[in-house]
Amino acid sequence: MAKRVICCMPPALLANTIDLFPELPKTYLKEAKNTHTWMQDSIKAGLAYEIPFWKDQNISTIITNEGPVIEFYDHSNADNTKFALCGFLHPAFANLKKEERKERVIAQLVRLLGEQAGKYLSYEEVVWKDEILTSIDTGDYFLPHQNNGNKIFQESLYDGRLLIAGSETSAVYGGYMEGAVNAANLAAEKIKKPG
């Protein structure tokens, strides 16, 4: 049986989806549920093409307030043998079915880049709100990075037998890759101490 556990799930996911016995302290649960998981609302989409027709128009980036596409980039490979456009859709479009969202993305790209945008090889997308190992939709509204790095996440749980170390627990760069590395380093330091 494990003597100590390091949990690296986002705090909100842990608090909302895992039942611990005995239960986590009420204040801890409240703060964890109140913690934004960075990028949990984002939607990423990408389209592969036979030819990079956008390069002929000297376009490498699309930034627009008109949805669903809000931020798209040239995503061709370094060898210039595979071609794609990839980026972010507005989170509000998460409510549509995939086919409907796809149709709107393509219609917008055709409007912006011309008919060739409709001749894609493949369309891929990830709606992060639906990724059950990353986020949970509780219906609550969170500010970006809300509660990230809250001091409570450094507290010892179950006499130091449970450490919480996801990026959102980090006091520096909470929610980012750097935060994840920082939280992991802190947990590693703590686990080295006899428990």
Report the interface residues with ligand FAD, using CB under 6 A.
Answer: 8-10, 13, 38-39, 42, 44, 128, 133-134, 166-167, 175-177, 179-180
For 8-52, strand residue ranges (E) read 43-49
Q: Which tokens sit at 43? A: 């939607």
CB count within 10 Å of CB 106 equals 17
Of residues 8 and 29, the one with the C-beta less far from ligand FAD: 8
Of residues 113 and 147, the one with the C-beta less far from ligand FAD: 147
> Running DSSP on this structure, what letter comes out for residue 157?
B
* CA pair distance 49, 65, nearest whole angstrom: 24
Of residues 1 and 133, the one with the C-beta less far from ligand FAD: 133
> Running DSSP on this structure, what letter comes out for residue 34?
T
Of residues 147 and 167, the one with the C-beta less far from ligand FAD: 167
Closest CB 186 distance from ligand FAD, rounded Å: 12
Closest CB 22 distance from ligand FAD, rounded Å: 19
Closest CB 34 distance from ligand FAD, rounded Å: 17
Closest CB 128 distance from ligand FAD, rounded Å: 5
Of residues 35 and 76, the one with the C-beta less far from ligand FAD: 35
Give the SS3 label for residue 89.
Answer: strand
* CA pair distance 152, 47, nearest whole angstrom: 42
* CA pair distance 125, 69, nearest whole angstrom: 12
Closest CB 43 distance from ligand FAD, rounded Å: 8
CB-side exposure of 191: number of CA atoms within 13 Å?
Answer: 16
